[in-house]
Amino acid sequence: IFKKMKRLSLEPTILTCNVLISALVRYPSSHSVRFANEVFTDMVNLGVKPNTNTFNSLTYGCCVGNKFREAVEMVEKMETYGCSPDNASYNTLLDWLCKKGRLNEARDLLSNMKIRGLLPNKITFTILVCGYCKLGWLKEAANLIELMRQSGLLPDVRTYNALMSGICKEGKIEEGLKLRDEMKKLKLVPDLVTYNTLINGCFEWSKSEEAFRLIEEMDEKGLRPNAVTHNILIKWFCKEGKMDEAINTCKKMEESGFLPDCVTYNTLINGYCKAGNMAEAFRMMNEMGRKGLKNDTYTFNTILHVLCEEKKLDEAYKLLYSSNKRGYFVDEVSYGTLIMGYFKDGKEDKALELWDEMKKKEIIPSIVTYNSMIKGLCQSWNTDRAIEKFNELLEAGLVPEETTYNTIIHGYCRQGDIEKAFQFHNKMVKLSFKPDVFTCNILLRGLCGEGMLEKALNLFNTWISGGKGVDAVTYNTMISSLCKEGRFEDAFDLLAEMEEKKLGPDCYTYNAIFGALTDAGDLLMKFFNDMVETGIGPSIFTYNIMIDYLCKEGDIGTARLKFLQMKQMGITPDIVTYNSLIDGYGKAGFLNESVCILEEMKKAGCQPDIITYNALINCFCKFERMPQAFEFLHEMKVRGLKPNVVTYSTLIDALCKVGMLQVAIKLFVDMRRVGLFPNEFAYTSLIDTNCKLGNVTDAFKLANEMLLAGIELNIVTYTALLDGLCEEGRVKEAEEIFKAMLQAGITPNQEIYTALFHGYIKFNKVGKTMDLLNEMNSKSIKPDLMLYGTIILDLCSQGKVDESKLVMSEMKKCGISPNPVIYTTLMDAYFKAGNTNEALNLLQEM
């Protein structure tokens, strides 16, 4: 309607424009803020003078879209149009800064507000209280409330609710309940927000009985639970893994007249994701869509997190870059999640690229995002770069957390730079941050790792004598180091102290001791004798940990000795003992010995399980002993054990690798016949092998089956199909597959492009080669040195020397210098073509 008014040259009123702009920014989609700015430009062009309300709405829209710099510019622009910022203008900016934890900038903005003659109002104070509480600055938040009173502004229920929220987040539930009582004395009636805050705090800090009592108290006071109350209950049930109860609460919510909202569904989706039930999680997402509820950023980030946890980084990347199409706002959490996923997968370069891209898009990192980046850099042995990010967050006005400091201290300790670790620790103390048990444990591990046991003991004793808390990790660290130094008496003193404080020992304690003693060699037997003398007798649990550890370390001989020793001591090996030995012998290549252990296991009356047979099949497949692998498959069936997806996938992949494709296909059919659904691994093995053998038609049949089964083709599958088609000269079909891959949202990699280039050149389609090269250069994936080299080599082998030279020129334009191999290839081609001058020119250039 507004656009029609514009076309008809009808001048809208300021009220019309303001209502439209406000609606667009208050109910944002991926394009609504841009539309709001277009309305602003149109209204100015039509001669409608904007007022303060106009600018306040636009400022709010910029903040919602995480474009804070533009929001500040919007406020500064007011005076150009004869307007002045008011409290609402500043409160919008303050609210964004406080939500992002940028309190230093918020203080500066508050000073600027006062200089302009604007006094903080009740909303301003409440925003600041929320900001302080979010960072855990409860004392400062309480002081603000006192300052409110002194300024003649009486705190209201909303202000108290903000402080109560901060107190409950710290786990100080009793203080939260006292604050509620204080509200009553001031004749402030606790509302639904008050009770919801307290109920949520109780659930978060394992006080579920108190939470349910508060729900009863609400009912007694005539306060009817609202959607938020129900959502808190649903969240608690999901956290406890009680998904059936969560769904029942959702039904009760609807019966009470409250429709499940985005928060409800997001909570349930998150619950199902944590329970590993992705199918139900995606079903919930679809249900949201059917009910007209938009999957918001939280939903988006939840799924993104699960994909990263499952190391499906390509899918996560695809999801992130489909956000605009799907109508999502991505935030710093979205980027931080994928950045951390890349770091965990050892892809530091990709993580840094994504960080730079986030900054270019003016998505402002929060302290949590910085913590993720710092952690990733430290884990990648790049602590100096982590310090750069630490300084960057300080410059951005963010306040570091204990986690920030602990991560960097840990980074220095991992690098063996204990001196810098303690310097940073001292800096932490100077800035009023109190080192916690995590800090202590990090420093102890660092000292022990560098052989500074005496300094570690001094720190440990100082920490204990100062009355500071310790945990099982603290004791495990010291016990392990003492054992490595051969100080077993001291280690057992700490073990006894640990037991006295009811901190253990746990499996990690024994694992630490056994690991140290294995390294100690001759002292291994002495440890067991000492255990017996001190009354700590080795148990089946102890032996199992030790044998499994030795097998994983490849020390099969020692593992066998411990196995015999445990039997001599009258301890009967169990399924865990035998499985560890079978897996250990098999992976070390002692296949006959692993079979002997299996037979011994049966004679002892210990029945092999699916793990036993999968270990045997995997080991025999690894060494291409396929007949024996199938014997074990037959044996497990005879014993009534059903092969699972792992069993079949292991065999199918091994058969493909040894060229037994027909047997692999038969096994694939058997797998489905018994009701098992082949996974991505099984399908990809078969598709890849078929393509390599020239059976492209069969490969495509499998790919279609894969899609019908709801398994998306991945980049590896597409590469195999493209390569197979290009090898057969079916370039047009390869192009169609390439398009289908792009439509599926998969970003092509260098291997994909290499397959296409090879096909084009091999079958004399040089023009298409150049078109594809230009297309690549216009996209985010640029050809690299290896790809350029492959193209030039292929062209030269086809006698296309001038075209090769043209490709090299394009390569140089992109800032990639040819290497000696490329120069040599081109010179050789020119010599063969009889063009000596060109060859000599290249030699001179080289």
pLDDT at 518 over 60: no
Residue 243: per-residue pLDDT: 92
Q: Which of 604, 584, 603, 602 is nearest to 594 (CA)?
A: 584
pLDDT tens profile 136-159: 777 778 888 888 888 778 788 888
Mean pLDDT of the chain: 84
| C-alpha distances out from residue 726 to 596, 720, 734, 746, 752, Å | 49, 10, 6, 19, 11
For residues 442 and 448, what is the distance between their CA atoms, to the nearest angstrom?
Answer: 10
- 10 has a pLDDT exceeding 60: yes
User: Given its phi and psi angles, is residue 745 left (phi above 0), alpha (psi -120 to 50 degrees) or beta?
Assistant: left
Boundary-marking domain end, from 85, 109, 134: 85
Residue 269, Cα to own-chain centre: how many angstroms?
A: 17
Neighbouring C-beta atoms of residue 821, cutoff 10 Å: 12
Dist CA 405 CA 438 (whole Å): 11
pLDDT of residue 515: 57
Q: Residue 696 and residue 728: Cα distance in Å, rounded?
A: 9
Higher-scoring residue by pLDDT: 609, 306: 609
Contacts of 640 by beta carbon, 8 Å cutoff, 6+ apart: none
Q: What is the tens place of the pLDDT at every residue in 751-773?
A: 777 777 777 777 667 677 677 77
DSSP calls for 143-210: HHHHHHHHTT----HHHHHHHHHHHHHTT-HHHHHHHHHHHHHTTPPP-HHHHHHHHHHHHHTT-HHH
On the 0-12 / 13-18 / 19+ scale of CB atoms within 10 A, 562 is buried
Both tokens of 220, joined, read 């007694």
Q: Which of 36, 64, 85 is the last residue before a domain boundary?
A: 85
Q: What local confidence, expressed as pLDDT, does residue 615 receive?
A: 93
SS3 track for 640-668: CCCCCHHHHHHHHHHHHHCCCHHHHHHHH
Report residue 785 as tokens: 């040195």
| CB distance 616 to 596 below 8 Å | no
Question: Is residue 219 very low, low, confident or very high in pLDDT (cuts 50, 70, 90)?
Answer: confident
Q: Using alpha carbons, select from 590, 476, 482, 492 the residue that is nearest to residue 535.
A: 492
What does the block give as tokens for 163?
Answer: 């402080």
Q: To the nearest 10°, the Cα dihedral for 546, 552, 553, 554? A: 110
Give tens-digit pLDDT for 767-803.
776 777 777 777 767 777 777 777 777 778 777 777 7
Secondary structure, 3-state, 434-455: CCCHHHHHHHHHHHHHCCCHHH
Position 484, amino acid: K
At 231 the pLDDT is 93
- Token pair 């309940």 is found at 177
Give CB contacts under 8 A, 24+ apart, made by 446-455.
446/409, 446/410, 446/412, 446/413, 446/414, 446/416, 446/418, 446/421, 447/418, 448/477, 448/478, 448/480, 448/481, 449/413, 449/416, 450/416, 450/418, 452/418, 453/481, 453/482, 453/485
Helices (H), 46-100: 52-64, 68-77, 87-99
* Rounded distance between C-alpha atoms, residue 297 and residue 323, angstroms: 9
Whole-angstrom CA distances from 346 to 341, 380, 727 are: 9, 7, 33
The number of residues in the chain equals 846
| Pick from 80, 83, 107, 79: nearest CA to 93 | 107
CA 384 to centroid of chain Cα atoms: 23
CB atoms under 10 Å from CB of 73, counted, come to: 12
Confidence of residue 650 (pLDDT cuts 50, 70, 90): very high
Share of the chain above pLDDT 90, in %: 18
Place of tokens 């140089």: 812
Q: Per-residue pLDDT averaged across 373-383, rounded?
A: 90
Distances in Å between the Cα of 300 and the Cα atoms of 42, 213, 275, 303 are 34, 35, 18, 6
Q: Which of 85, 111, 135 is at the close of a domain?
A: 85
CA distance 129 to 623: 65
Q: What is the pLDDT of residue 519?
A: 55
What is the per-residue pLDDT for 668?
92
What is the rounded CA–CA span in Å between residue 641 and residue 50? 76
What's the token pair of residue 296? 């918001």
What is the three-class DSSP state of 136? coil
Pull the structure tokens for residue 603.
């004679």
d(CA 630, CA 664): 12
pLDDT at 635: 92
pLDDT at 28: 58
Mean predicted confidence (pLDDT) in 274-293: 79
Contact 211, 203 (CB under 8 A): yes
Q: Could you read off the pLDDT of 33-54 as tens digits, one per residue? A: 788 888 888 888 888 899 999 9
Confirm if 333 and 369 have CB atoms less than 8 A apart. yes
Interatomic CA distance for residues 414 and 410, integer angstroms: 6
Task: Please state the domain count of the chain.
Answer: 2
pLDDT (0 to 100) of residue 279: 79
Give the per-residue pLDDT at 274: 78
Instruction: Identify the band that residue 115 occupies on the pLDDT scale cut at 50, 70 and 90.
Output: confident
Distance between alpha carbon 128 and the CA centroid of its chain, in Å?
31
Indicate the burial class of 537 (C-beta count within 10 angstroms; 0-12, 13-18, 19 or more). Answer: exposed
Distance set, CA 629 to CA 586, 611, 620, 772 (Å): 12, 14, 6, 46
The token pair at 486 is 């051969």
Q: What are phi and psi for residue 246, nearest 5 degrees? A: -65, -45
CA distance 678 to 684: 10
Task: Print the domain residue range for 830.
Answer: 747-846
Q: What is the pLDDT of residue 611?
A: 92
Would you state the structure tokens that stand for residue 384, as one six-digit string? 């100096």
Whether 38 and 56 have beta carbons less than 8 Å apart is answered as no
Q: 768: part of which helix (H) or strand (E)? A: helix 766-777
Across 589-611, average pLDDT: 92
Is residue 829 in a domain?
yes
pLDDT digits (tens, 9 = 90+) for 318-371: 888 877 766 667 888 889 999 999 998 888 999 999 999 898 888 888 888 999
CA–CA distance, 810 with 468 (Å, rounded to integer): 65
Residue 211, in any domain of the structure = no
More confident residue, 641 or 838: 641
CA distance 782 to 776: 6
Tell me: pLDDT of 815 over 60: yes
What is the structure's pLDDT at 522? 53
> In this predicted structure, what is the pLDDT of residue 537?
60
Is residue 335 one of the residues assigned to a domain? no
Average of per-residue pLDDT across 210-226: 88
Q: With DSSP H G I counted as helix, E B as strand and the rest as coil, what are the percentages for the chain, rounded to 5? A: 75, 0, 25
CATH of the domain at 827: 1.25.40.10
Please compute the mean of the pLDDT values over residues 125-144 and round it to a whole number: 80
Check residue 533 and give its pLDDT. Answer: 58
Give 323 or 97, the one with higher predicted confidence.
97
pLDDT (0 to 100) of residue 766: 65
* 270 within some domain: no
> If you average pLDDT over residues 614-629, what whole number do you get?
92
Predicted pLDDT at 526: 58
Report the pLDDT value the prediction gives residue 631, as an integer from 0 to 100. Answer: 93
Q: Residue 806: inside a domain, yes or no?
A: yes
Gyration radius of the chain over CA positions:
33
Nearest CA to 295 out of 287, 338, 315, 254 is that of 287
In a domain, 66, yes or no: yes
What is the mean pLDDT of the segment spanning 110-138?
83
**For the chain, what is the largest distance between any 2 Cα atoms, rounded to a whole number of angstroms?**
101
Residue type (1 letter), 2: F
Given a contact cutoff of 8 angstroms between Cβ atoms, the answer to whether 479 and 514 are in contact is no
Task: Using pLDDT thresholds of 50, 70 and 90, give the confidence band for residue 644.
Answer: very high
pLDDT at 610: 93
pLDDT the model gives residue 760? 73
Domain-located, residue 361? no
User: Residue 494 in contact with residue 480, Cβ under 8 Å?
Assistant: no
Kindly indicate the confidence band of residue 249, based on its pLDDT and cuts at 50, 70 and 90.
Answer: very high
pLDDT tens sequence across 440-487: 888 888 888 888 889 989 988 888 887 787 888 888 889 888 888 878
When pLDDT is cut at 50, 70 and 90, the band that residue 617 belongs to is very high
Alpha-carbon gap, residue 657 to 808, rounded angstroms: 37
- Residue pLDDT, tens place only, 701-737: 998 888 888 888 888 888 888 888 888 878 788 888 8
Model confidence at 528, pLDDT cuts 50, 70, 90, reads low
Is residue 517, in this structure, part of any structural domain at all? no
Q: What's the distance, CA 19 to chain centroid?
A: 40
Q: Are 163 and 142 in contact (CB under 8 A)?
A: yes
How far, in Å, CA of 842 to CA of 178, rounded? 84
Tell which residue, 694, 693, 677, 753, has the closest CA to residue 718: 753
Write a three-state SS string for 300-332: HHHHHHHHHHCCCHHHHHHHHHCHHHHCCCCCH
pLDDT at 662 over 70: yes
Task: Work out the pLDDT band at 165, boundaries 50, 70, 90.
Answer: confident
pLDDT at 295: 66
Residue 836 has pLDDT above 60, yes or no: yes
Residue 609 pLDDT: 92
The pLDDT value recorded for residue 573 is 92
pLDDT tens digit string along 259-281?
898 889 888 988 888 787 877 88
pLDDT for 651 beyond 90? yes
pLDDT at 136: 72
Mean pLDDT of 501-505: 78
